[in-house]
Every structure is written in C-alpha cells, then in structure tokens.
Structure 1
Amino acid sequence: MAISPSSTSSYSPPSSTFTASLSPLAKRQRDFSEVSSRQKRRRLCDLNSELDEFALANNLTINQVIGYLLYQRNYNSNKYLANLGHQLYEGKCIQNPRLPNLDLDEALALKCHLNLSRSDMDFLKWFSNDYINVPNQHYIKNHTDDLIPLLTSCRNNKGIYVKDRRQSIQLTIQRLIDVLHSKHINVPNHLSYREKTGHDGAGSMSIYR
C-alpha cells in the first residue's frame, strides 16, 4: 500500500514532559598552579618538544631560547627580567648576588695550582654553587688566552715556542701593573724590566734580588 506525502507530513512526535539539563562538552581545566607536578610535566610536554626542536634547528641551548623569550617579553616592562634573559641568551651564568664571587684571576690561579681540567672546573662550579660564585669556564678560557703570547709549532709539530719574545715581556709587564692597580698601588711612569736568562748563577746576582 502506497503512502501519500500528505499523510507523512502531518506526523509529529509526542512532546516530552521531562527536560534534561545539558552537561558541558568538556570539563573545566584546573589552573596550572593547582595541578600536581606530574600533570605540570604532562601539560608542558608538547611545549618542551617544540623548544627542543627549535633549539636544535638554530644551534642554541634550551636556556638560550628561554633567555631570549624572557628578554623579548620583558624588554619594555621589566628591565631586571630582561637583563636576566639577556644573560641566559649570551650563555652567561646567572650568579647569586648574595654569595661571594671568585674573580677570574682567582679562578685561574685555582685551576693552575691544582691542575684542574675543564671537567674538574665544571664539577667545582656545580659543587660550590651554594657557597661561592665561580666564573663560567668560557670566561676563564678567554681570560687565559689574553695572558698567553702567540705560540708557534716547531720540531715537526712536536714542540712549541713563543713567536715574539717582546710580546711575552709586554704581557708580563702589563700583568704586573694590572695586579698592582687592582690593589690600589701607585705604579711609576718609568719602569725597568730585568729577567734571568737561565745562566747558572744568574739568580744570585744582586740585580735580581
């Protein structure tokens, strides 16, 4: 039996007398400060992955990326945070201002006196972080390079020697003057420089006493 269109158009479902409240599509997410450490790590997982990829693609460390973000976001509103971010981006170590500082000369003296390697200095810096600020290895190396004369290889690259003897003398004199100035000791304008040449008995001469 065929059903005409007019007979179907007049049909309407029975009205319901029960009204149900619609539940929200998604549960409200708790604030980041309210969740546990595990949930914090889970939420930051994607962001950390993006930061890792960005740092790797641009030959940067994670601290440099975060540092530049801190610098960029606070440049106009918070100079202190911007400065911290700039230090991170430049690869500098942010030091605790309440701790005593080991200056570059002291760090270099400690490194040479104990014959510490780069790894040894990194461990020392980490171990003493709560007690004293040790300069970054990068700055110790740059400071050391400024105190060493230009060296040239010899004996088929089996040995080295100072290329310009005058440079070594100038560095030694300037180093002595800088140390005296750091101790607020006045240095005469005209100085005479004397040194031993390695001959036997030269050390006993009165000119070197």
Structure 2
Amino acid sequence: MTGLVDDLRARLHGPSGVRKELLREVEDGLRDAAEAYEEAGVPAAEAARRAADEFGDPAELAPLYQAELDACQGRRSALLIALAYPTLTLTWDALWRFAGVGEGVASDESVTVAGLLDLSSYGAAIAAAILIPLFGRASASWIRRLALGVGGLGWLSLLLTVGTSIWLAQANDASGARAMGTSVPAMLVVALTVASTIAVAISATVTLVRVSRSRALLAVR
C-alpha cells in the first residue's frame, strides 16, 4: 500500500496542505479496507494487495485527484483577486476623499484614467468571483482551463494596474508625490498596495506554473 500512495504522491502537484490531506485520506482508506479483509480472515499481505486492487491504478486516478488540487489552487487565486482589487480601490478612494491627499494635483485626464483603472479593477474582481463557483461544477479538463484563466487574469489585471499607476504618477506633478510622502495614511495605503500586488503576482504565477506542470506530467504519464 505504501508503494501505491508513493506512486500517487509523485503524480500530484498543488497546494501542499490539500495534497497531504488527499494522500492521507487515500492511505486511511487503504488501511481500513485491508483491516476489513484481515478481520474476514485474509492474511495481511493478501489483504493489502486486495485493498490496493480495489483502489485502482494510480495512473488512472491521478487526474481526478489532480483536478481537485487544480481547483483548490484556482479558487485561492480567484478569491485573492476578488478581494484584493475592490479593497485597494475603495482604500485609495477613501484616501483621496477623506485624508486630504492629492487635492488639486490631478489633471482631468488623470482623473479619467483613474476612473478607468477603478472600473478595470472591479471588472477583474467580478470576473474572478464568477469563476470561483465554476470550479465545483467543471470537469477535470475544464478545471485546468479555469485555473489557467485565473492565473492569466491575475497577471493581466496586475500589468494593467501597475502600468496605469506608473502613468498616473508620471502625469501628475511632483507635489502629488510629496503630499503622499508626508501623509501617514497614504504611506500605509501604498504599503498595502505593494503587499497586495506582490500577493497577486505570486498567486497568479504559482497557479500558472502548477497547473501547467501538472497537465504536462499527466500527459506524459
């Protein structure tokens, strides 16, 4: 039975905690099945063999378990996107409106671009939120596509956000940067933005790498 679990472990890639739990459930199930055979009078070695035979071929079952791991990875990334962007957008809006930062430094063009940035952030969040429940209904192949889509959405929205933010910083005069640099709330919001940006980048990258890697390995095996 140990060899079967090890074989399955080598075929699966994804969130370590969920992966360990899946393998633990497999091991417990095999052990329970073997013990049931032993209680019926079957020798231990034969009981273990029968339990493994009942479980099936790891090569055939791995895609099913991998789909669960891919779904978990995709949901995590989608949830982060769905929460991060609205939080950042609302936080920045609150900063401009109530903290007195940036008053009188933004041009009409910058305001328009900032509004479009807000819309794109909310759009990415809504798209991610819509994808989350789909992971529970899709087939294994579609779960991989959805996970890859979430990873792509994360990077696309991230590049758009960072690129637009850089443009806005360059479009405004230096007084805006000085105002933010002397405001504690602004510095906290910037720190939150940087942390969230890094988190989205890592999550999107991990999702793309893990799902692409698992798909390639399953295809080879």
Class of the TM-score when normalised by the shorter of the 2 chains: under 0.3
Give the TM-score normalised by the residue count of structure 1.
0.23
Larger helix proportion of the pair? 2
Larger C-alpha radius of gyration, 1 or 2?
A: 1
